[in-house]
A and B are shown apart, each in its own frame.
Chain A
Amino acid sequence: GNSVTQMEGPVTLSEEAFLTINCTYTATGYPSLFWYVQYPGEGLQLLLKATKADDKGSNKGFEATYRKETTSFHLEKGSVQVSDSAVYFCALAGYSTLTFGKGTMLLVSP
C-alpha cells in the first residue's frame, strides 16, 4: 500500500535560517504529492503540490520538487519566520484519497 515517511521533529530553527523537512514515499506509479500545514488550533491547509515527476511546487517561499528517482518530496524554505511555526504534513494521492505522513513540527525562535 501507499505510505509516507517524514523526518521526526521537532525541528528547531532561528529566524532567517534555512529549512529542510524530508519526505519520502512508497506508492504504485507516480502519485500527486502534497505538503499541508497545520497551525495551532486550526485545520490542515494545502501549502503546495506537484502532480508529476520533476515538478516543483511553491507557495509563500516554500518549495518542494517531485523526485521520482529518490521517491522524495522534500520541503525547503530559504529563510523561515516565527510565523512559520506549525506542523507540516507530507501526503500522497491515491485510491481517491490522501495518505499522510506523521507530520513534522517546526519551531522558529526570534
Chain B
Amino acid sequence: EAGVVQSPRYKIIEKKQPVAFWCNPISGHNTLYWYLQNLGQGPELLIRYENEEAVDDSQLPKDRFSAERLKGVDSTLKIQPAELGDSAVYLCASSLDQSSYEQYFGPGTRLTVT
C-alpha cells in the first residue's frame, strides 16, 4: 500500500515569492490534514479536510495561505507571498475518517525562504 506522497521534498524561494505544496493521501482516506512543523517543535494543524470540504481552517493564516482539495483526493497548499518566518516543514497526513485518530504522515516539504 502506497503511503502519503508529498512533493516537492525541498523548496528554496526568495521572500515575497509564491510557493505550492502537493499531497496525495492514502487511497480511501477521506480525511486530510496539513500541518506546520517548526524546527524543534511538534506538528501544528493548519487545516483539516473531510473529503473536499475544509472543516477546520481556524489556524490557517488566510491572508497569505490557501488550500484546496479538489475531488476529495489530492490537495495543494499555497503560500503567497512567502515570508521569512514561513521557513518550516509542511506535513500532510491522512486518516480513514474524522473519527479515526490514526494519522499517516507524508515525508514533508522543507521550505526555506531567503
Chain A positions within 8 Å of B, measured between CB atoms, are 4, 32, 34, 36, 41-46, 49, 89, 91, 93, 95-98, 100-103
Contact call A42/B42, Cβ cutoff below 8 A: no
Interface size on B, residues (CB 8 A): 23
Contact call A96/B40, Cβ cutoff below 8 A: no
Using A89-B42, A96-B56, A97-B48 as known contacts, say yes or no to A43 and B107 having CB atoms under 8 A apart: yes
* Interface presence of B91 (CB below 8 A): yes
Contact call B40/A41, Cβ cutoff below 8 A: no
Closest CB of chain B to A91's CB: distance in Å? Answer: 7
14 A-B pairs (CB sep. < 8 Å): A36-B105, A41-B107, A42-B107, A43-B4, A43-B105, A43-B107, A44-B43, A44-B91, A44-B93, A89-B42, A96-B98, A97-B33, A100-B44, A103-B40
Q: Is chain A's binding surface mostly helix, strand, loop or mixed? A: strand
CA distance A59 to B43 in the complex (A): 22
Contact call B43/A100, Cβ cutoff below 8 A: yes
B-side contacts of A36, CB under 8 Å: 105
Within 8 A of A (CB), among B1-20: 3-4
A-side contacts of B53, CB under 8 Å: none
B-side contacts of A41, CB under 8 Å: 107
| B40 (CB) vs chain A CBs: closest residue | A102
Contact call A93/B101, Cβ cutoff below 8 A: yes
| A31 (CB) vs chain B CBs: closest residue | B101
In the complex, besides A44-B105, A93-B101, 9 extra interface pairs with C-beta distance below 8 angstroms are: A42-B107, A43-B4, A43-B105, A49-B102, A96-B98, A98-B43, A98-B101, A103-B40, A103-B41
| B110 (CB) vs chain A CBs: closest residue | A41
Contact call B102/A46, Cβ cutoff below 8 A: yes
Closest CB of chain B to A104's CB: distance in Å? Answer: 10
